[in-house]
Amino acid sequence: MTFDQILFYCLAAIAIISALMVITRRNPVHSAMFLITTLFSVAGIYLQLHAEFLAAVQVIVYVGGIMVLFLFVIMLVNLEVVSTERRFNKQWIIALIASAVLLVEFGYVIVRGGKSSLLPPVTGPAQDLTRKNSEQIGLMLYQNYMLPFEIASLLLLVAIIGAVILAKRRLASDK
Amino acid sequence: MVPLNYFLILAAILFCLGVIGFVMKRNLITMFMSIELMLNSVNLTFVAFSRHINVLSGQIFVFFVMVIAAAEAAVGLAIIVAFYRNRESLNVDEVDRMKL
Protein backbone atom coordinates (compact mmCIF):
# COMPACT_ATOMS: atom_id res chain seq x y z
CA MET A 1 0.00 0.00 0.00
CA THR A 2 1.43 3.34 -0.97
CA PHE A 3 1.38 6.48 1.13
CA ASP A 4 -1.35 7.93 -1.12
CA GLN A 5 -3.68 5.06 -0.38
CA ILE A 6 -3.06 5.11 3.35
CA LEU A 7 -3.79 8.84 3.40
CA PHE A 8 -6.96 8.33 1.39
CA TYR A 9 -8.22 5.56 3.69
CA CYS A 10 -7.57 7.68 6.78
CA LEU A 11 -9.35 10.72 5.36
CA ALA A 12 -12.25 8.63 4.06
CA ALA A 13 -12.67 6.89 7.41
CA ILE A 14 -12.69 10.22 9.26
CA ALA A 15 -15.21 11.65 6.77
CA ILE A 16 -17.60 8.69 7.02
CA ILE A 17 -17.42 8.33 10.80
CA SER A 18 -18.02 12.01 11.41
CA ALA A 19 -20.83 12.04 8.83
CA LEU A 20 -22.42 9.21 10.82
CA MET A 21 -22.00 11.28 13.96
CA VAL A 22 -23.67 14.26 12.25
CA ILE A 23 -26.84 12.30 11.68
CA THR A 24 -26.91 10.43 15.00
CA ARG A 25 -26.11 13.16 17.53
CA ARG A 26 -29.12 14.75 19.14
CA ASN A 27 -27.49 18.05 20.02
CA PRO A 28 -27.17 20.20 16.88
CA VAL A 29 -23.97 21.83 18.17
CA HIS A 30 -22.30 18.40 18.20
CA SER A 31 -23.66 17.72 14.72
CA ALA A 32 -22.18 21.00 13.49
CA MET A 33 -18.78 20.15 15.01
CA PHE A 34 -18.73 16.74 13.35
CA LEU A 35 -19.82 18.28 10.05
CA ILE A 36 -16.80 20.58 10.31
CA THR A 37 -14.58 17.49 10.70
CA THR A 38 -16.17 15.95 7.61
CA LEU A 39 -15.60 19.14 5.62
CA PHE A 40 -11.96 19.25 6.69
CA SER A 41 -11.31 15.69 5.59
CA VAL A 42 -13.06 16.30 2.26
CA ALA A 43 -10.73 19.29 1.86
CA GLY A 44 -7.83 16.92 2.46
CA ILE A 45 -9.14 14.64 -0.28
CA TYR A 46 -9.34 17.66 -2.61
CA LEU A 47 -5.67 18.27 -1.89
CA GLN A 48 -4.97 14.69 -2.83
CA LEU A 49 -6.77 15.25 -6.14
CA HIS A 50 -4.59 18.27 -6.93
CA ALA A 51 -7.42 20.76 -6.38
CA GLU A 52 -5.56 23.04 -4.00
CA PHE A 53 -7.68 26.10 -4.69
CA LEU A 54 -10.90 24.22 -3.92
CA ALA A 55 -9.43 22.80 -0.72
CA ALA A 56 -8.67 26.34 0.47
CA VAL A 57 -12.09 27.60 -0.60
CA GLN A 58 -13.73 24.66 1.17
CA VAL A 59 -12.03 25.55 4.44
CA ILE A 60 -12.63 29.29 4.10
CA VAL A 61 -16.19 29.31 2.77
CA TYR A 62 -17.68 26.17 4.29
CA VAL A 63 -15.93 25.94 7.62
CA GLY A 64 -15.25 29.63 8.11
CA GLY A 65 -18.49 30.97 6.66
CA ILE A 66 -21.37 28.56 6.42
CA MET A 67 -20.69 26.53 9.56
CA VAL A 68 -20.15 29.65 11.65
CA LEU A 69 -23.53 30.87 10.35
CA PHE A 70 -25.04 27.55 11.42
CA LEU A 71 -23.57 27.87 14.90
CA PHE A 72 -24.87 31.45 15.15
CA VAL A 73 -28.38 30.30 14.30
CA ILE A 74 -28.19 27.35 16.73
CA MET A 75 -27.21 29.74 19.49
CA LEU A 76 -29.88 32.22 18.46
CA VAL A 77 -32.63 29.67 19.01
CA ASN A 78 -33.32 28.07 22.32
CA LEU A 79 -31.11 25.01 22.75
CA GLU A 80 -33.48 23.23 25.12
CA VAL A 81 -36.19 23.24 22.50
CA VAL A 82 -33.75 21.86 19.97
CA SER A 83 -32.18 19.00 21.88
CA THR A 84 -35.36 17.24 23.04
CA GLU A 85 -35.66 15.36 19.79
CA ARG A 86 -35.84 11.58 19.69
CA ARG A 87 -32.95 9.92 17.91
CA PHE A 88 -35.04 7.49 15.85
CA ASN A 89 -38.57 8.09 14.76
CA LYS A 90 -41.14 6.66 12.39
CA GLN A 91 -39.26 7.96 9.40
CA TRP A 92 -36.27 5.68 9.79
CA ILE A 93 -37.78 2.91 7.62
CA ILE A 94 -38.32 5.34 4.76
CA ALA A 95 -34.80 6.69 5.25
CA LEU A 96 -33.35 3.20 5.13
CA ILE A 97 -35.30 2.25 1.99
CA ALA A 98 -34.37 5.48 0.20
CA SER A 99 -30.68 5.14 0.98
CA ALA A 100 -30.64 1.41 0.12
CA VAL A 101 -32.17 2.15 -3.28
CA LEU A 102 -29.63 4.91 -3.84
CA LEU A 103 -26.71 2.71 -2.77
CA VAL A 104 -27.77 -0.10 -5.11
CA GLU A 105 -28.11 2.40 -7.93
CA PHE A 106 -24.68 3.94 -7.29
CA GLY A 107 -23.10 0.52 -6.92
CA TYR A 108 -24.59 -0.65 -10.20
CA VAL A 109 -23.34 2.44 -12.02
CA ILE A 110 -19.85 2.19 -10.51
CA VAL A 111 -19.50 -1.55 -11.20
CA ARG A 112 -20.82 -1.28 -14.73
CA GLY A 113 -18.98 1.94 -15.49
CA GLY A 114 -15.64 0.49 -14.42
CA LYS A 115 -15.60 -1.93 -17.33
CA SER A 116 -16.81 0.32 -20.09
CA SER A 117 -15.09 3.26 -21.67
CA LEU A 118 -18.28 4.89 -22.86
CA LEU A 119 -17.37 8.30 -21.50
CA PRO A 120 -17.16 10.52 -24.57
CA PRO A 121 -13.89 12.35 -24.93
CA VAL A 122 -14.22 15.72 -23.26
CA THR A 123 -12.61 18.76 -24.72
CA GLY A 124 -11.58 21.58 -22.50
CA PRO A 125 -8.53 23.12 -20.92
CA ALA A 126 -6.56 20.39 -19.23
CA GLN A 127 -4.99 20.80 -15.85
CA ASP A 128 -1.28 21.40 -16.19
CA LEU A 129 0.30 20.02 -13.06
CA THR A 130 3.44 22.08 -13.55
CA ARG A 131 1.51 25.33 -13.13
CA LYS A 132 -0.29 26.61 -10.07
CA ASN A 133 -3.83 25.37 -9.63
CA SER A 134 -5.30 28.70 -8.48
CA GLU A 135 -3.64 30.49 -11.38
CA GLN A 136 -5.27 28.18 -13.89
CA ILE A 137 -8.66 28.36 -12.18
CA GLY A 138 -8.47 32.14 -12.06
CA LEU A 139 -7.62 32.37 -15.74
CA MET A 140 -10.48 30.06 -16.67
CA LEU A 141 -12.94 31.82 -14.39
CA TYR A 142 -12.23 35.22 -15.90
CA GLN A 143 -11.93 34.06 -19.50
CA ASN A 144 -14.26 31.15 -20.22
CA TYR A 145 -16.73 31.56 -17.35
CA MET A 146 -17.06 35.32 -17.07
CA LEU A 147 -20.86 35.48 -17.43
CA PRO A 148 -21.60 32.69 -14.90
CA PHE A 149 -19.23 34.42 -12.49
CA GLU A 150 -21.16 37.69 -12.77
CA ILE A 151 -24.48 35.88 -12.41
CA ALA A 152 -23.14 34.19 -9.27
CA SER A 153 -22.26 37.57 -7.79
CA LEU A 154 -25.78 38.82 -8.55
CA LEU A 155 -27.21 35.70 -6.92
CA LEU A 156 -25.21 36.37 -3.77
CA LEU A 157 -26.53 39.94 -3.69
CA VAL A 158 -30.11 38.63 -3.95
CA ALA A 159 -29.37 36.14 -1.17
CA ILE A 160 -28.05 38.90 1.11
CA ILE A 161 -31.13 41.06 0.56
CA GLY A 162 -33.46 38.07 0.99
CA ALA A 163 -31.78 37.00 4.21
CA VAL A 164 -31.96 40.50 5.69
CA ILE A 165 -35.65 40.88 4.82
CA LEU A 166 -36.57 37.42 6.11
CA ALA A 167 -34.71 37.63 9.39
CA LYS A 168 -35.65 41.24 10.10
CA ARG A 169 -37.62 41.67 13.29
CA ARG A 170 -41.03 43.08 12.55
CA LEU A 171 -41.38 46.52 14.10
CA ALA A 172 -44.44 47.44 16.09
CA SER A 173 -45.10 50.34 13.75
CA ASP A 174 -45.48 47.97 10.81
CA LYS A 175 -48.65 46.47 12.11
CA MET B 1 -2.30 6.73 -7.08
CA VAL B 2 -5.80 6.05 -5.80
CA PRO B 3 -8.27 4.77 -8.44
CA LEU B 4 -11.30 6.83 -9.41
CA ASN B 5 -13.73 4.25 -8.06
CA TYR B 6 -12.62 4.78 -4.48
CA PHE B 7 -13.56 8.44 -4.61
CA LEU B 8 -16.91 7.64 -6.22
CA ILE B 9 -17.71 5.04 -3.55
CA LEU B 10 -16.78 7.48 -0.78
CA ALA B 11 -19.01 10.13 -2.38
CA ALA B 12 -21.86 7.62 -2.69
CA ILE B 13 -21.60 6.68 0.99
CA LEU B 14 -21.53 10.32 2.08
CA PHE B 15 -24.54 11.10 -0.14
CA CYS B 16 -26.52 8.20 1.33
CA LEU B 17 -25.69 9.32 4.87
CA GLY B 18 -26.95 12.76 3.90
CA VAL B 19 -30.19 11.28 2.57
CA ILE B 20 -30.70 9.25 5.75
CA GLY B 21 -30.10 12.32 7.89
CA PHE B 22 -32.44 14.43 5.80
CA VAL B 23 -35.32 11.95 5.98
CA MET B 24 -34.82 10.77 9.55
CA LYS B 25 -34.18 14.00 11.37
CA ARG B 26 -37.04 16.20 12.54
CA ASN B 27 -34.93 19.18 13.43
CA LEU B 28 -34.75 21.86 10.75
CA ILE B 29 -31.12 22.79 11.43
CA THR B 30 -29.85 19.19 11.32
CA MET B 31 -31.78 18.58 8.12
CA PHE B 32 -30.03 21.58 6.65
CA MET B 33 -26.67 20.14 7.68
CA SER B 34 -27.56 16.90 5.87
CA ILE B 35 -28.18 18.92 2.72
CA GLU B 36 -24.69 20.41 3.07
CA LEU B 37 -23.32 16.88 3.41
CA MET B 38 -25.01 15.83 0.16
CA LEU B 39 -23.72 18.92 -1.67
CA ASN B 40 -20.23 18.08 -0.48
CA SER B 41 -20.37 14.53 -1.76
CA VAL B 42 -21.48 15.76 -5.18
CA ASN B 43 -18.57 18.22 -5.16
CA LEU B 44 -16.23 15.35 -4.39
CA THR B 45 -17.53 13.46 -7.45
CA PHE B 46 -16.98 16.53 -9.62
CA VAL B 47 -13.38 16.94 -8.47
CA ALA B 48 -12.62 13.22 -8.83
CA PHE B 49 -13.89 13.18 -12.42
CA SER B 50 -12.10 16.43 -13.20
CA ARG B 51 -8.86 14.81 -12.10
CA HIS B 52 -9.63 11.55 -13.88
CA ILE B 53 -10.31 12.98 -17.34
CA ASN B 54 -7.91 15.86 -16.74
CA VAL B 55 -10.28 18.71 -17.57
CA LEU B 56 -10.36 21.71 -15.28
CA SER B 57 -14.04 22.63 -15.84
CA GLY B 58 -15.16 20.28 -13.07
CA GLN B 59 -13.35 22.38 -10.50
CA ILE B 60 -15.03 25.53 -11.80
CA PHE B 61 -18.39 23.82 -11.35
CA VAL B 62 -17.51 22.96 -7.76
CA PHE B 63 -16.72 26.62 -7.21
CA PHE B 64 -20.19 27.60 -8.43
CA VAL B 65 -21.83 24.88 -6.33
CA MET B 66 -20.10 26.40 -3.31
CA VAL B 67 -21.51 29.83 -4.23
CA ILE B 68 -25.00 28.32 -4.43
CA ALA B 69 -24.48 26.55 -1.10
CA ALA B 70 -23.51 29.82 0.57
CA ALA B 71 -26.57 31.63 -0.83
CA GLU B 72 -28.80 28.72 0.15
CA ALA B 73 -27.42 28.65 3.70
CA ALA B 74 -27.96 32.40 4.13
CA VAL B 75 -31.58 32.35 2.93
CA GLY B 76 -32.44 29.01 4.55
CA LEU B 77 -31.10 29.98 7.95
CA ALA B 78 -32.96 33.29 7.75
CA ILE B 79 -36.17 31.34 7.11
CA ILE B 80 -35.38 29.09 10.08
CA VAL B 81 -34.85 32.12 12.34
CA ALA B 82 -38.12 33.68 11.17
CA PHE B 83 -39.93 30.36 11.70
CA TYR B 84 -38.52 29.93 15.19
CA ARG B 85 -39.56 33.45 16.14
CA ASN B 86 -43.16 32.70 15.26
CA ARG B 87 -43.56 29.13 16.52
CA GLU B 88 -40.94 28.72 19.26
CA SER B 89 -40.07 25.36 17.74
CA LEU B 90 -37.77 23.83 15.17
CA ASN B 91 -39.76 20.69 14.43
CA VAL B 92 -40.25 20.25 10.73
CA ASP B 93 -43.68 18.68 11.27
CA GLU B 94 -44.97 22.07 12.34
CA VAL B 95 -43.99 23.70 9.08
CA ASP B 96 -47.39 23.39 7.48
CA ARG B 97 -48.19 26.94 6.47
CA MET B 98 -46.40 29.28 4.12
CA LYS B 99 -47.59 32.27 6.08
CA LEU B 100 -45.33 33.19 8.96
Domain boundaries, chain A: 1-85
pLDDT at residue A93 in the model = 87
Whether the Cβ atoms of residue A105 and residue B9 lie closer than 8 Å to each other: no
Instruction: Classify residue B19: in a domain, yes or no.
Output: yes
* Among A83, A43, A84, residue whose Cα is nearest residue A62: A43
Please give the C-alpha separations between residue A90 and each of A23, B49, B65, in angstroms, as whole numbers.
Answer: 15, 37, 32
Whether the Cβ atoms of residue A66 and residue A20 lie closer than 8 Å to each other: no
Contact A102 B15 (CB under 8 A): yes
Residue by residue, pLDDT tens for chain A (175 residues) are: 788 899 999 999 999 999 999 988 888 899 999 999 999 999 999 999 989 999 999 999 999 999 999 999 988 886 665 556 565 567 788 888 999 999 999 888 888 876 655 566 666 667 677 778 888 899 989 998 999 999 999 999 999 999 888 877 765 555 4
Look up the domain containing B25 and give its range.
4-87
Q: Which of residues 15-54 of B touch A (CB under 8 A)?
A: 15-21, 23-27, 29-30, 32-34, 36-37, 40, 43-44, 47-48, 50-51, 53-54
Q: Which of residues 108-167 of A touch B (CB under 8 A)?
A: 110, 114, 119, 122-127, 133, 136-137, 140-141, 144-145, 148, 152, 155-156, 158-160, 162-164, 166-167
pLDDT over threshold 70, residue B97: yes
pTM of the model: 0.89
Instruction: Classify residue B32: in a domain, yes or no.
Output: yes
Using an 8 Å CB-CB cutoff, list chain A residues near B72. Answer: 159
pLDDT at residue A120 in the model = 62
* Sign for the pseudo-dihedral over CA of A111, A117, A123, A125: positive
Which of A98, A162, A163 lies at the smallest CB-CB distance from B23? A98
Rounded-to-integer distance, Cα A144 and Cα B62, Å = 15
Query: Would you list the DSSP string of chain A?
Result: --HHHHHHHHHHHHHHHHHHHHHH-SSHHHHHHHHHHHHHHHHHHHHHTT-HHHHHHIIIIIIIIIHHHHHHHHHHS-HHHHTT--SS-TTHHHHHHHHHHHHHHHHHHHHHHHH---SPPP-SPPP-TTS-HHHHHHHHHHHTSHHHHHHHHHHHHHHHHHHHHHHPPPPGGG-
For B58-71, write each residue's pLDDT tens digit: 899 999 999 999 99
Which of A28, A45, A50 lies at the smallest CB-CB distance from B30? A28
Note whether A104 contacts B: Cβ–Cβ < 8 A: no
Average pLDDT over residues B25-32: 88
Burial label, A129 (beta-carbon count in 10 A; 0-12, 13-18, 19+) = exposed
Average pLDDT over residues B21-45: 92
Average pLDDT over residues B82-94: 82
Instruction: Classify residue B22: in a domain, yes or no.
Output: yes
Q: Which of residues 39-78 of A touch B (CB under 8 A)?
A: 39, 42, 45-46, 48-51, 53-54, 57-58, 61-62, 65-66, 69-70, 73-74, 76-78
Angle at A163 between CA A29 and CA A74, to 5 degrees: 10
Model confidence band, residue B5 (pLDDT cutoffs 50, 70, 90): confident
Q: What is the average pLDDT value for chain B, to the nearest integer?
A: 89
Nearest-CA distance B2 → chain A (Å): 6
Total domain count, chain B = 1
- Could you tell me which residues are beta bridge partners of residue B39? none
pLDDT at residue A71 in the model = 92
* Sign for the pseudo-dihedral over CA of B28, B34, B35, B40: positive
Contact B54 A19 (CB under 8 A): no
Domain A1-85: CATH architecture, name and number where available: Up-down Bundle (1.20)
